[in-house]
Amino acid sequence: MNRSLLPRLAAALAAVLVAVPLAPGVATAEPTPGTPAVTWAVQPADERGPDGRRWIERTLDPGQVVTERLAVRNFSDRPTVFALKAADGYLTDKGRFNMLPSNQKSVDGGTWIEVRDTVTVPAKGTAVVPFTITVPRDARPGDHPAGIAATVTATGGTVAVESRVGFRVMMRVSGTITASLAVDGLTTTYRRSWNPFSAGSVRVRYTATNDGSVGATGAATVTTGELFGAVEHRTGAEVAQSLPGGSREVDVTVDGVWALGPLRTTVVLTPAVLDGDTSGAQIRPAEATVTVWTLPGPQLVLLALLAALALTARAAVRRRRRRLAALLARARDEGRAEARESTLAER
């Protein structure tokens, strides 16, 4: 490797920031290798300290400005400087709340929160820090989730690791809100039972995308019709909560379905507002349909076997009849021959 590249490579590595996901309780970090670990917690607060809330949830009007507080509790044996940061919030694939890391730019609720850059908390002490939420005048009605956290960055080596602990700030802008979940990427797969006397199942997979303005859950009805709709099989499924712009993968199985030609599967998804004020909310159900063609493989194999057995039995009966006819004909011929011999002997 060209030696002139080494300093630039080291600088690039030193600029990498690895963010530890937002923790809702207590965090521990070792800012510099060999130094005592720092343990701290962050909670919503009032002027006196933590007020018992797990997170902050507010319904606000466009243009409204409110002041909230957070408490940073330092459980360590030495004073520590914590960086305070706010960012857009989202739900992970496992349904856990998180906020964007420092190297990603916030574009929504995280930009509404103004808080001081740092706070120094004495050993075994607590610091209450006010922060301001300013709702833009043109803010869209609905949910604008964010998170706020106190962070400590470990600087050992070439990679900085940002450890943070904080809580969610759920902001809902007043106005007409919409709960909507779209059905995307609907696919079905027929899984047959190789027992010809047992029905198979249809595996239904799709993505429920929150294209509304508020956090929502969903109730899905999945219907599979066979024999051109003459017979229907129905099952229900719950869609886990998602925030605006988020999505959830759904995997449902419809049992008791026979492979008898086209199988038409329809998903009807009805959303529900996750929480907060639901007055005047618009609920927009979604529907999607897909059709797959199937053949009754095990049943066809069974019919082929039965047909082969029937043909074999028929051939065996025919052979038996021919053999019996031949024996009867030979017996008749032998009887005639004996009769002729007896007549000649009497003469």
Digit-by-digit pLDDT tens for the chain (347 residues) are 444 444 443 433 333 444 445 655 676 766 666 667 889 999 999 999 999 999 999 999 999 999 999 999 999 999 999 999 999 999 988 889 999 988 899 999 999 999 999 999 999 999 999 999 999 999 999 999 999 999 988 776 566 677 889 999 999 999 999 999 999 999 999 887 777 677 889 999 999 999 999 999 999 999 999 887 778 899 998 999 999 999 999 999 999 888 878 999 999 999 999 775 566 789 999 999 999 887 665 555 656 677 777 777 787 788 888 888 778 878 777 777 777 777 766 66
The whole-angstrom separation of Cα 86 and Cα 72 is 14
* Count of Cβ atoms closer than 10 Å to residue 227 Cβ: 12
User: Quick one: pLDDT at residue 4?
Assistant: 46
Two structure tokens written together for 276: 């907060």
User: Quick one: pLDDT at residue 156?
Assistant: 63
User: Quick one: pLDDT at residue 299?
Assistant: 53
Positive or negative, the CA dihedral 133, 84, 216, 184 is positive
DSSP string, 82-125: EEEEEEEEEE-TTS-EEE--TTS---SGGGGEEE-SEEEE-TT-
Q: Where are the beta strands (DSSP E) in 156-285?
A: 160-173, 178-191, 200-210, 216-226, 231-242, 247-257, 261-273, 282-284
User: Quick one: pLDDT at residue 7?
Assistant: 44
**pTM reported for the whole predicted model:** 0.74
User: Quick one: pLDDT at residue 294?
Assistant: 75
User: Quick one: pLDDT at residue 252?
Assistant: 94
Residues 6+ apart with CB under 8 A from 134: 65, 112, 114
User: Quick one: pLDDT at residue 21?
Assistant: 52
User: Quick one: pLDDT at residue 34?
Assistant: 61
Residue in this structure with the two tokens 């005639």, named with its chain if needed: 336
Of 300, 32, 294, the residue nearest 155 (C-alpha): 32
User: Quick one: pLDDT at residue 3?
Assistant: 46
11 DSSP assignment: H
